[in-house]
Amino acid sequence: MSSVKLGDDYVRVPKLDVGGSNWVLYKERLTWAADAKGLVGHLDGTSIEPVAPPSPAGTSTTAPVGGTATGLATWKKGEAIVKQLIASTIPDSLFMKVRAKGTARAIWQALASEFEKRSRMVSLDL
């Protein structure tokens, strides 16, 4: 099992097997690790990037909707932490497949769609 340092805490998340044989445990432990840091919204889609509103003609705005530039920076930091948590616990071959997905949520969905099917097939075989 690898130890991932997030802030002052060590979080133990198993490395995902390239074949996905430990997907169920990996998924739960990674979700718990993100939740422990208050960042599970980046996985489940409830944490949405603040977006700047359309500005009235002749004016410009840099403040995101529902917050400030600080809110956007906080969201980006959380996004980076969750992406790093995922990247540090998956094999390089999987990282190469998901690295360009953009958001932690998109990366998580790509992994889930890959391994949820395999988990169901294994369950049926048993």
- The whole-model pTM stands at 0.75
User: CA angle, corner 97, sides to 18 and 23, nearest 5?
Assistant: 35
Q: Tens digits of per-residue pLDDT, 59-100?
A: 555 545 555 778 889 999 999 999 999 999 999 999 999 999
Domain regions of the chain by residue span: 22-48+67-123
What span, in angstroms and rounded, lies between the C-alpha atoms of 91 and 123?
A: 23
Overall size of the chain counted in residues: 126
State phi, psi for 11 to the nearest 5 degrees.
-115, 130
Contact 118, 20 (CB under 8 A): yes
